[in-house]
């Protein structure tokens, strides 16, 4: 639909802002042009709309060169939604939207036909500006103005819509409403959209394809996933960018890391936290948030948190939900819910085993506790035996180090392997001595695991670094779990293998 | 507003009861339009109906205003002529209906040869100046623009002043208006050329700037001629202040082609003027050939301005205030703004001319003085209200 062939051009003084740019936009495509300020995005868009001259190369629209179109024919094919415009005089909304029919009006007197009016109405309805169609444009808010201008562009009934940062003055709600609307219109009417967006994340969500413009040259064209090349983004925008999958749809999202967060002072790991314990809970408070990855039932998944807890909530208030109970419990301790990750157990928790360890640059803190309950074993041979059964093992591992996603996964694997290893050893032991003990190792609830990292110091990189990390984790988790299970079973250290 | 002031200013010695009723209605409608319903928030027409009932009423009102202004201007004078005679003469001379038997020849001549051309000229000049003012304001996206902004009227004035000063008689009686017309168009061409040379896209800022440069240059030339003139001084000054007095049918014949073509040119461009008010780029995106349409509109507005100045001198404020007034009442849509400005502006100048020749009768005031006396305070009020 739009073909740009080796185009150079820009402002009139022979200095070409755009240098030898080529790309193609297919019919019905949502194409987004990305690039830093001053890269020539608006210049390129103005060349497409015929406002600025093309010095070299050709622009083809719908199989015809741009300059072969008359002004009217071009406007029938293509509409432009600009950033908020300065409109002279107090035109009302309806009069502005009606201008969208300008290129389609025929006859000597150029009256609005019934079809014109229907399209104006539709455009105003779909952009939800109909309720204030008689309001002067100047009295509208920025978001309403933008919707009115969109209505004008849609009333033009174009096949191609060019947009220069259409969401600039809009809040989150209106920006998404506008883009959803466009996406819908694009799909239902096979509209070709060519947009400049400054927000890489919005571009990723809405664009079918993107082009990266850098210093007047298109450096990359293609699917949004090409942006996952963080080096390219960093080169173009001159900032450190990390990509991240969108939680719901298969599109990448991009995150900036501000420079100010790196504090120069570096207290030792042991000084970063306090541990608080009472009969039913263990709480760890960190001075600064840690990046966590866990399956604990409060704040699971990937998070940043400063407060970590394992607790048993008593069933004093059966009506309220687990979440409400936890919130109340945390509020009593003046801990913000949003910065906490933890687990609430249904049954009693054993005394937590707390182990600290330093290994080179890194330091570790492991906390392991067992959830257990009394089980009535109504078996024929032992009719009234009440046995204590381990429900689950809850593990929290805090690491003073900088872990990437790969290292996090490695940490999970190592911790789980270590715990399973200990578990199976003891299970063997317990089953051998079954007759003499009244305690069992049967698990009914899922184990909990939390990995939290301070994200300071040198990042863990490469397979080797990850492997070393894995070995450290294996050691500390093995030890902590071992002590916890032995304590539960009432075993002496010597009896262990 | 202007008309309300006007009704207090002018004594109407033998005002016909019917007229009075109509006049009161018009006045009340305008007063209610401006005051009761609030400035600028008035019956803005919907695009879905050509005439809202309010818009229709405003057209009827303006048309009525024109009609009443014509009749009253024909009627009121130092020489008393009954309305019935005036109507009879008009019917007979204009349409060949009825007869003028029983009416003295000199009465017929006063009405047909003296008063009617003068009144019609005032109507056409007022309409032309208001229409071109509305077009200039819309085109230059500047509510303070008027037919004088880009120097066309100065050019026309220079042409006329040169004719008086050098006592040129190349084209006989037509020399004066023709030179005026030519002067105006030459200045338009100069402004175009200056604009094109400095900025190929004909940006409005450049047009305004070029216009101001050219018009101040031309004004200084006029001042130079005034300074050098001897016995022609009074004639030049009187002409510069603007007047529609002592004009005949030949002036109307001269004005009419320019008036008709210029008006048509502007009236058919109401959609382009609306689009251009959105800004050049938006107009371009809507399919307006911005450069060409702008030149055509400027040409049309300059035809009207140049022709008006050529026949009646520089009558100020009509082109500035009337479009403003109309815009306040009906909104900025040029589809209605242009024709209504014509009607209201024409009627206004007819009344202003009536005042000019009756306030200190038998002497006459230049009509340009009256329009400025009424126009300046009105404009000041508008500015204050806008703030």
CB B324 within 8 A of CB B382: yes
* Interchain proximity B285–A85, CB inside 8 Å: no
Which tokens hold the place of B350?
Answer: 């007819």
| Residue entry with tokens 């050509």 | B50
Confidence check: pLDDT of A494 > 50: no
Residue A496's pLDDT band (cuts 50, 70, 90):
very low
Alpha-carbon torsion, ordered A24, A217, A150, A127, to 10 deg: 70
The CATH number given to whatever domain includes residue B167 is 1.10.3470.10
Is A16 in contact with A55 (CB distance < 8 Å)?
yes
The number of distinct structural domains making up chain B is 1
Q: Are strands A78-81 and A160-164 parallel, antiparallel or unpaired?
A: parallel
Closest CA to A32 of A268, A205, A267, A151: A205
Q: Distance between CA atoms of B260 and A127, rounded to whole angstroms? A: 42
Report the residue of A69, A89, A123, A161 to disrupt the B interface, i.e. the one with the largest count of B CBs within 10 Å.
A89
Condensed to tens digits (0 to 9), the pLDDT of residues A21-76 reads: 999 999 999 999 998 888 889 899 999 998 888 888 999 999 899 989 999 999 99
A46 min Cα distance to partner chain B (Å): 9
The H or E element spanning position B241 is: helix B233-241
Dihedral angle at the C-alpha atoms of B322, B324, B326, B329, nearest 10 degrees?
-150
Q: Are B356 and B243 in contact (CB under 8 A)?
A: yes
Laid out side by side, the sheet with A64-65 consists of: A18-25, A2-9, A54-61, A64-65
Q: Which residues pair with A209 in a beta bridge?
A: A31
| A130 shares contact with chain B (CB less than 8 Å) | no
CB contact under 8 A, B287 and A74: yes
> Alpha-carbon dihedral of residues B266, B268, B274, B277, nearest 10 degrees?
-30
Which residues, in sequence order, are CB contacts of B153 under 8 Å at separation 6+? B147, B184, B305, B306, B309, B314
Which is it for the CA torsion A35, A40, A42, A46, positive or negative?
negative
Note whether A90 contacts B287, CB cutoff 8 Å. no
CB B135 within 8 A of CB B266: yes
- What is the CB-side half-sphere exposure of residue B135 using CA atoms within 13 A? 35
Residue ranges in A127-278 assigned as alpha helix (H): 142-155, 172-189, 200-206, 230-237
> Whole-angstrom Cα distance, residue A280 to residue A309?
11
pLDDT of residue A165: 87
Closest A-chain CA to B324: A89
Three-class DSSP category at A390: strand
Is A114 at the interface with chain B, CB within 8 A? no
The reply to whether A95 touches chain B by the CB within 8 Å rule is yes
Q: List, for residues A340-380, the tens digit of each pLDDT value.
A: 999 888 888 888 999 999 887 889 999 999 888 776 555 55
Tell me, yes or no, if A51 comes closer than 8 A to chain B by beta carbon: yes
CB atoms within 10 A of CB A248: 6
Pairing of strands A353-359, A348-349: unpaired
User: Averaged over A412-419, what is the pLDDT?
Assistant: 92
Option in B48, B286, B332 nearest A117 (CB): B48
Q: What is the pLDDT of residue B5?
A: 36
Of the CA atoms within 13 Å of residue B314, those in its CB half-sphere come to 23
A1 in Cβ contact with A192 (< 8 Å): yes
- The 10s digit of each residue's pLDDT in A443-474 is 567 889 999 999 888 888 777 778 888 999 99
CA-to-CA distance for A492 and A476, rounded, in angstroms? 20
The length of chain B, given as a count of residues? 387
d(C-alpha B74, C-alpha A371), whole Å: 109
Could A110 and B141 be called an inter-chain contact, meaning their C-beta atoms sit closer than 8 Å? no
| Residue A434 CB partners (closer than 8 Å, separation 6+) | none
DSSP per residue, B44-102: PPPTTSS--HHHHHHHHHHHHHHHHHHHHHHH-SSS---HHHHHHHIIIIII--S--TT
What DSSP character marks residue B337?
H
Q: Nearest to residue B314, comparing CAs of B242, B251, B234?
A: B242
* φ, ψ (nearest 5 deg) of residue A307: -120, 135
3-state SS assignment for residue B317: coil
Chain B residue nearest residue A153, CA to CA:
B286
Among chain B residues, CA nearest to A107: B268
**CA nearest to B39 within chain A:** A90
This model of the complex carries an ipTM of 0.78
Q: What is the pLDDT of residues A471-483, one digit of tens each?
A: 999 999 999 998 8
- Asked if A84 and A166 touch (Cβ cutoff 8 Å), the reply is no
Q: Is B58:B97 a contact under the CB 8 Å cutoff? A: no
Reading phi first (left if > 0) and then psi (alpha if -120 to 50, else beta), residue A62 is in left
B44 → closest Cβ in A75, A92, A99: A92
CB nearest to B277's CB, from A71, A87, A120: A87
Interchain CB distance below 8 Å, A95 and B275? no
Length of chain A equals 497
- Residues in B closer than 8 angstroms to A75, CB to CB, are 285-287
Q: Which residues of B touch A110 (CB under 8 A)?
A: 271
Q: If DSSP codes are grouped into helix, strand and coil, which group holds residue B203?
A: coil
CA distances from A379 to A177, A375, A382, A441 (A): 64, 12, 5, 17
pLDDT above 80 (res A260): no
Note down pLDDT in tens along chain B; length 387 residues. 333 333 333 333 333 333 333 334 444 444 444 443 333 333 444 555 545 677 888 899 999 999 999 988 888 877 778 888 888 888 888 787 777 777 788 888 888 888 889 999 999 999 999 999 999 999 998 888 888 888 888 999 999 999 988 888 787 777 888 888 899 999 999 998 998 888 766 788 888 889 989 999 999 999 999 999 888 888 888 888 888 887 888 889 889 999 999 999 999 999 999 999 988 889 999 999 998 999 999 999 999 999 999 888 888 889 988 998 898 888 899 999 999 999 999 999 999 999 988 888 778 888 888 888 887 787 788 767 765
pLDDT for B38-60, tens place per residue?
333 334 445 555 456 778 888 99
B286: which chain A residues are within 8 Å (Cβ-Cβ)? 75, 99-100, 102-103, 156
**Chain B residues touching A78 at Cβ < 8 A:** 285
Q: Among partner residues A75, A90, A117, which is closest to B332 by beta-carbon distance?
A: A90
CA atoms within 13 A on the CB side of A160: 25
Q: Which domain holds residue B182?
A: 2-386
Pick from B200, B271, B278: which is nearest to A85 by CB?
Answer: B278
Catalogue all structural domains in chain A, each as residue range(s) with its CATH number. Answer: 2-256 (3.40.50.300), 272-495 (3.60.70)
Tell if the CB–CB gap between B327 and A134 is shorter than 8 Å: no
Residue B122 CA to chain centroid, in angstroms?
8
A–B interface: beta-carbon pairs under 8 A:
99
Of B142, B200, B275, the CB nearest to A99: B275
Q: How far apart are CA B23 and CA B17, in angstroms?
A: 10
A50: which chain B residues are within 8 Å (Cβ-Cβ)? 284
**Three-state SS for B364?**
coil
Say yes or no to pLDDT of A160 above 70.
yes
Give the SS3 label for residue A219.
Answer: strand
Look at the block and give the residue holding tokens 């089980």.
A375
Cα separation, A156 vs A173, in Å, equals 25
Top pLDDT among A285 and A444 is at: A285
Separation of alpha carbons B251 and B28, rounded Å: 35
Q: Are A415 and A451 in contact (CB under 8 A)?
A: yes
pLDDT reading at A309 higher than 80: yes
B370: tokens are: 């009256």
**Do the Cβ atoms of B207 and B140 come closer than 8 Å?**
yes
**Rounded distance between C-alpha atoms, residue A457 and residue A400, angstroms:** 8
In degrees and rounded to multiples of 5, residue A293 shows phi and psi of -145, 115
**CB contact (8 A) between residue A74 and residue B143:** no
pLDDT, chain A, mean: 84
Q: Which residues of A touch B278 (CB under 8 A)?
A: 85, 87-88, 91, 96, 99
Pairing of strands A209-214, A30-34: parallel
Per-residue model confidence (pLDDT) at position B222: 92
What is the dihedral sign for C-alpha B304, B308, B313, B318?
negative
């Amino acid at each position: 639909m739009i073909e740009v062939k080796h185009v150079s051009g820009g402002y009139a003084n022979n200095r070409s802002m755009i240098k030898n740019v080529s790309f193609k936009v297919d019919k019905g495509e949502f194409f987004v042009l990305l690039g830093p300020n001053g890269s020539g995005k608006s210049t390129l868009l103005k060349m497409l709309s015929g406002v600025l001259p093309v010095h070299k190369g050709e622009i083809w629209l719908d199989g015809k060169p741009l300059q072969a179109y008359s002004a009217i024919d071009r406007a029938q094919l293509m509409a432009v939604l600009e950033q908020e415009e300065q409109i002279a005089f107090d035109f009302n909304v309806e009069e502005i939207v009606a201008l969208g029919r300008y290129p389609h009006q025929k006859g000597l007197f150029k009256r609005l036909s019934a079809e014109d009016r229907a399209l104006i109405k539709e455009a105003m309805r779909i952009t939800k500006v109909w309720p204030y169609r008689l309001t002067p444009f100047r009295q509208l808010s920025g978001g309403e103005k933008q919707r009115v201008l969109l209505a004008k562009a849609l009333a033009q009934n174009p096949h191609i819509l060019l947009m220069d940062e259409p969401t600039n003055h809009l809040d989150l709600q209106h920006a998404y409403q506008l883009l959803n609307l466009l996406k819908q219109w694009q799909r239902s009417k096979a509209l070709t959209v060519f947009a400049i967006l400054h927000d890489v994340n919005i571009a990723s969500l809405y664009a079918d394809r993107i082009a990266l413009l850098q210093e007047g040259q298109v450096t990359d064209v293609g699917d949004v996933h090409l942006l996952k090349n963080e080096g390219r983004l960093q080169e173009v925008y001159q900032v450190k960018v990390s990509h991240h999958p969108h939680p719901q749809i298969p599109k990448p999202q991009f995150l900036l890391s501000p420079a100010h967060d790196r504090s120069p002072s570096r207290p030792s790991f042991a000084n970063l936290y306090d541990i608080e314990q009472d009969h039913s809970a263990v709480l760890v408070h960190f001075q600064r948030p840690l990046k966590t990855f866990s399956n604990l039932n409060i704040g699971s998944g990937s998070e940043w948190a400063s407060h970590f807890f394992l607790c048993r909530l008593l069933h004093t208030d059966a009506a309220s939900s687990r979440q409400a109970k936890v919130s109340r419990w945390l509020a009593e301790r003046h801990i913000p819910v949003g910065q906490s990750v933890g687990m609430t157990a249904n049954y009693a928790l054993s005394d937590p085993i707390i182990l600290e360890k330093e290994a080179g640059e890194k330091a570790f803190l492991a906390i392991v506790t067992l959830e257990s309950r009394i089980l009535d074993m109504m078996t024929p041979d032992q009719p009234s035996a009440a046995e204590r059964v381990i429900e689950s093992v809850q593990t929290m591992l805090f690491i003073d180090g900088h872990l990437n996603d790969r290292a996090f996964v490695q940490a999970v694997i190592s911790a789980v392997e270590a715990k399973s290893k200990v578990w199976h050893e003891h299970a063997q032991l317990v089953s051998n001595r079954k007759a003499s003990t009244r305690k069992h190792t049967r698990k009914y609830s899922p184990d909990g695991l939390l990995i939290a990292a301070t994200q300071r110091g040198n990042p863990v990189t490469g397979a080797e670094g990850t492997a070393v990390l894995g070995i450290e984790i294996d050691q500390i988790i093995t030890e902590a779990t071992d002590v916890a299970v032995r304590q539960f079973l009432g075993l002496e250290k010597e009896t262990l293998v | 507003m202007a008309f309300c002031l006007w009704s207090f200013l002018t004594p109407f010695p033998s005002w016909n009861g019917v007229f009075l009723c109509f006049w009161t209605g018009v006045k009340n409608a305008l007063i209610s339009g401006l005051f009761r319903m609030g400035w600028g928030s008035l019956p803005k027409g919907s695009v879905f109906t050509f005439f809202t009932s309010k818009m229709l009423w405003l057209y009827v009102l303006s048309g009525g205003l024109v009609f009443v202004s014509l009749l009253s201007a024909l009627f009121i004078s130092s020489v008393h002529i009954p309305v019935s005679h005036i109507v009879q003469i008009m019917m007979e001379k204009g349409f060949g209906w009825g007869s003028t038997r029983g009416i003295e020849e000199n009465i017929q001549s006063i009405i047909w040869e003296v008063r009617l051309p003068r009144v019609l000229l005032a109507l056409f000049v007022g309409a032309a100046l208001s229409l071109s003012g509305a077009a200039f304001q819309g085109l230059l996206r500047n509510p303070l623009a008027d037919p004088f902004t880009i120097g066309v009227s100065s050019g026309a004035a220079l042409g006329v002043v040169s004719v008086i000063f050098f006592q040129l008689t190349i084209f006989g009686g037509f020399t004066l208006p023709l030179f005026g017309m030519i002067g105006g168009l030459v200045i338009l061409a100069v402004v175009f050329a200056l604009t094109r040379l400095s900025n190929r896209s004909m940006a409005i800022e450049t047009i305004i700037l070029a216009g101001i440069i050219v018009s101040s240059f031309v004004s200084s030339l006029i001042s130079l001629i005034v300074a050098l003139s001897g016995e022609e001084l009074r004639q030049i000054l009187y002409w510069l202040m603007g007047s529609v007095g002592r004009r005949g049918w030949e002036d109307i014949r001269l004005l009419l082609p320019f008036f008709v073509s210029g008006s048509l040119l502007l009236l058919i461009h109401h959609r382009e003027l609306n689009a251009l008010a959105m800004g050049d780029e938006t107009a371009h995106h809507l399919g307006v050939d911005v450069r060409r349409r702008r030149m055509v509109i400027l040409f049309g507005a300059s035809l009207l301005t140049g022709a008006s100045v050529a026949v009646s001198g520089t009558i100020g404020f009509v082109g500035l205030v009337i479009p403003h007034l109309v815009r306040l009442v009906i909104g900025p849509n040029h589809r209605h703004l242009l024709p209504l400005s014509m009607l209201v502006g024409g009627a206004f100048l007819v009344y202003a001319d009536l005042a000019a020749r009756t306030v200190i009768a038998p002497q006459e005031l230049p009509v340009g003085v009256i329009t400025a006396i009424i126009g300046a305070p009105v404009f000041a009020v508008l500015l204050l209200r806008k703030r």
